[in-house]
A and B are shown apart, each in its own frame.
Chain A
Amino acid sequence: MLYERKTAWGFLFRLYHWSFALSILALAVTGFYIHDPWISTANEGSGSFPMADWRYCHFIAGYVFTAAVLVRLYLLVFGNREESFLGFAPVTGRNIKNVFTTLAYYLYLTDRGGHRLGHNALAGTFYLFTLLFAVLQMISGFSLLYPESGFWQTVAGKIFGVQQEIRFYHFVFMWYFMIFALVHVYIVVWNDVWSPEGLISSIFTGDKFLPKGQEGAGKRA
């Protein structure tokens, strides 16, 4: 079969992806420390400042995360066909059908995947969930960071409640991101194993390989 190189992801999208991924990694590690400080500094006057340092890293990473989320929201509207909302959200007939095709493919029920240049719609649906959680995590994070800001306290108060509840949900959402990362990486590797479209390299180069002439009709290799 002849394969054709096609551009799926723009530069901004790839930048978003990696800032999002790396900031989540940093936030989960630093967040865990904030949750349960495991470093013991038994001596006073040792010049160490661990909690302040971990929190500092958490907040910096939090801003990177926020920037990434905002970029993604922007691309939902102004991105290319693959990046934008209608490209993968399960709101059009084409995408809803694709959710089921992909599901059958992932369950080894068919050999014809719901491949396409952009996200398949099943993945897309979960990415939208993740984006929603990301926005919630951002809101909870900023209202923890600025406890005296009326704006953040009102917004987060309406959604989560008092500071302690905000902390609690902030912590719970961390588990969503960790589970998402685990499943996401597995599925991506799995796809790369089963179909030769170059999914993993596409998030570095922006390009995928599709059978010539048929957009998104890859067959299990």
Chain B
Amino acid sequence: MSRNVCVSCLDPRLSRRGFLKGCAMAAAALGLSDSMVPRMVEAASSPARPPVVWLHFQECTGCTESLLRASHPDIGRLILDLISLDYHETVMAAAGKQAEEVLHETVSKHAGKFICVVEGGIPTKDGGVYCKIAGRTALEILKEVAPQSAAVIAIGTCATFGGIQAAYPNPTGAVGVRDLVHDRPVVNISGCPPNPISFLGTVLHYLTFNRFPELDGLGRPLFAYGRRNHDQCERRAHFDEGRYVEQFGDSGHLKGYCLYKVGCKGPGTFANCPAVRFNDVDVWPVSAGHGCVGCTEPGFWDTMTPFYERLPGVRIPGDEGIITKAEDVGLKVLGVAAAAVGIHAAVGAGKRLVAGKKQEKADQKE
């Protein structure tokens, strides 16, 4: 099976212009100088494309959708052109038994050479029964495929950190690839969905330099996840000047003020959204008037919710699942402390009074 399994719906021909443009965009996202572009182009046009096996587990396929349905099709095409997508359930023609054979064939034929892309979280509870494909659990499939690959790319927040199904109380025990695969290099392209350019840049870097780009502590490439959205945001001037949207739809919102007070999580989120943007029409949530929800961060369903509050009621460890607003608790504790102080002082004053009376009596006796 060749890469042609995939794209009957897309015009598979990529113009030279589109190809160069895609490479240049990826190089820019990677922060490489334009003198590197020819090297990249050369690597990208090499006929020996790395075979790719694309596994789908607990997910919504939104990552694939955003990758392939980019309104500007060059990126999607370029990706499909760069790699030999031998197994991808969403876009391959084969189905059922045939598809399983393709998977098996690719893995054994290209053992140690193919790239394994994982989309979706992996449930681990109860032997992983919560996600099964062709009668096998996601856990089994990953444990079989990943060790035979050259490297693993986890795409999307589900595959990187467990995603929505790992949100508290994580009923299926969902985890990300890095929690399970330790003997292969794993690159995390997090986001819900991630930017196709970040994926493309990672693949191109791998093809050009034969290694992955530099990663952060969470396994994400620094070129895409090295900076906070807040530090690249077009509304940052409003933040610094203290101009905030107080409520959605108010005059500040109409004027495009900073969304900090209505819960923007840009200050806690590492991503390249404001720089690279989405859908080739230059948008990202904040440009459309909605705060960042922090989708590239681990556990964002727990730590970034409620999405419309500044500092959300993050569960305090040990506080059995109760979502408390720290401010409420703080005020109460402060109140209790003040009351305790008051009572203590009153007892002291009372004691002094009594002692004084006794002293008086003693004095009178004398």
Number of interface residues of B (CB under 8 A): 46
User: A108 contacts B228, CB within 8 Å?
Assistant: no
The interface stretch among A3-11, A145-153, A201-209 is A145-153
Closest B residue, CB atoms, query A144: B267
> Does B10 touch A at the CB level, under 8 Å?
no
**Hey, which chain A residues are within 8 Å of B337, CB to CB?**
179, 182-183
Q: B227 at interface (Cβ–Cβ under 8 A)?
A: yes
Docked CA distance A36–B330 (Å): 15
Which single residue of chain B is at the shortest CB-CB distance from A106?
Answer: B344
The answer to whether A147 touches B270, judged by C-beta atoms less than 8 angstroms apart, is yes
Number of A-B contacts defined by CB within 8 Å: 114
B298–A148 CB distance below 8 A: no
B193 at the interface (CB under 8 A from A): no
Given the known interface contacts A179-B333, A186-B345, the answer about A52 and B240 at a Cβ–Cβ threshold of 8 Å is: yes
Which chain B residue has the least Cβ–Cβ distance from A54?
A: B242
Distance between B124 CB and nearest chain A CB, rounded to angstroms? 21
Among A37-45, A61-69, A93-101, the stretch that binds chain B is A37-45
Which single residue of chain A is at the shortest CB-CB distance from B238? Answer: A44
Per-position binary interface string of chain B over residues 335-353, scored 1 when its CB falls under 8 Å from any chain A CB and 0 otherwise: 0011001001101100100
The reply to whether the CB of B50 lies closer than 8 angstroms to some CB of chain A is no
**Interface assignment of A18: CB less than 8 Å from any CB of chain B:** no
Size bin of chain A's contact surface: 35 or more
Q: Mark A159-189, 1 if CB is under 8 A from B, else 0.
A: 0011111111001101100110011001000
Using Cβ atoms and an 8 Å threshold, which residues of chain B touch A148? Answer: 226-228
Q: Shortest Cβ distance from B287 into chain A, in angstroms?
A: 19
List residues of A whose CB falls within 8 A of some B CB. 35-37, 39-42, 44, 48-52, 106, 108, 147-148, 150, 153-154, 157, 161-168, 171-172, 174-175, 178-179, 182-183, 186, 190, 193-194
Measured CB to CB, the residues of B under 8 A from A are 216-217, 226-228, 231, 239-244, 246, 255, 260-261, 265, 267-270, 294, 297-300, 303-304, 310-312, 314, 316, 326, 329-330, 333-334, 337-338, 341, 344-345, 347-348, 351
A-B contact pairs, 20 of them (CB 8 A): A35-B311, A40-B244, A41-B243, A49-B241, A51-B239, A51-B241, A51-B242, A106-B344, A147-B228, A150-B216, A163-B228, A164-B297, A165-B303, A175-B329, A182-B338, A182-B341, A186-B345, A190-B344, A193-B348, A194-B348
